[in-house]
Amino acid sequence: MNNSRRSFIKKASTTGAAIIAAPSLIGFSRGSNQIQAKDATVPFKLKYGPSLNMFRQHAGTDPIDNIKFCYDMGFRAMFDNNLMSRPVEDQERIANEMQRLGMELGPFIISAAGSGPPTYVLNSPEIREMLINKMKEGVEVSKRTGAKWGLVIPGRYDERLHRDYQTANMIDNLRYCCDIIEPAGLTIVLEALNTFRDHPGMVLTTIPQAYAVCRAVNSPSCKLLDDLYHMQIQEGNLIPNIEAAWSEIAAFHTGDNPGRNEPGTGEINYKNIFKYIYSRKFDGVIGMEHGISNRGTLEGEARVIEVYRECDSFEV
């Protein structure tokens, strides 16, 4: 055990932070005086992926220390939205450590047009060239890091053009993107965003819509990412929509509503959702794309791990 991980065990027991392991194992109980690392290392049933800076109070800011810490806590995946913007040497360090530990890297952002002018919805040679170049960059990152999925948010509507034309343009542009990424073994995952709370004006807003777009693009390299925080706000009906769109879902993001913090802070029953996903033999990454309700503290970070243990304790 290295110093940063030994420091976590010491700090967590000193502060009384509680991390609950799977019920069938000797676990960490709330207020325990001692935390045993062997219990924390039991892998979760699903590949929950913390971001590379989620546990900075315990692991610091170095991404390698964060990866090691998350592995010791039982996580077998990570995600990094900003992977493409990291220096090449950092990408390679992250990839090497993930590979050494047998962990999986979740979707990284290739193209997230969450603000600014419309892009994917336009029939424009200039826009198409820009998107193709983005995909080429994503392919290079995928080759360096082994990441299999690149996140795409198609951006905003153009209010001057009928929305059906814009949908057709988006499908055409995504087909051009797939022509670039498919030979390289990279898959783009489309993320629908809520318009009621965070992202008004977005073109892709629901799981049925994202499913229809994936089917129309008709490429194994175009799937969807179901962000459960966004979809609880936008449409609800989470498990039935997961079931209906299952063939096109490649990844998930978590976050409770309201607040977009860890499970258990809002209204979403994550234990039931995880149980359903597990029952479908899902083997992808569930990115923990949320904040921490008690942010900036050892206790808050320990609580995140605890609630994922609780949600992962469903019967199989």
Q: What is the phi/psi pair of residue 110, to 5°?
A: -95, -45
Residue 171 lies in a domain: yes
Helix (H) or strand (E) holding 249, with range, is strand 249-253
What Rg do the C-alpha atoms of the chain give, in angstroms? 20
The per-residue pLDDT for range 195-208, each reduced to its tens digit, is 999 999 999 999 99
CATH code, domain carrying 151: 3.20.20.150
The token duo for 14 is 């000193």
Residue 230 lies in a domain: no
Closest CA to 53 of 16, 79, 23: 79
Q: At what angle do helices 125-145 and 163-181 cross, to 10 degrees?
A: 40
Residue 182 lies in a domain: yes
Closest CA to 83 of 24, 17, 140: 140
Task: Please give the angle made by the CA atoms of 195, 201 and 202, to the nearest 5 degrees.
Answer: 75
Q: Which domain holds residue 208?
A: 106-223
pTM for this entry:
0.89
Mean pLDDT of 149-176: 97
Instruction: For residue 253, list its beta bridge partners.
Output: 227, 287
Question: How many contiguous H segments (helices) and E segments (strands) does the chain have?
Answer: 12, 9
The per-residue pLDDT for range 107-132, each reduced to its tens digit, is 999 998 767 899 999 999 999 999 99
| Count: domains in the chain | 1
Residue 149 lies in a domain: yes
Residue 242 lies in a domain: no
- With 80 as the cut, is the pLDDT of residue 39 above it? no
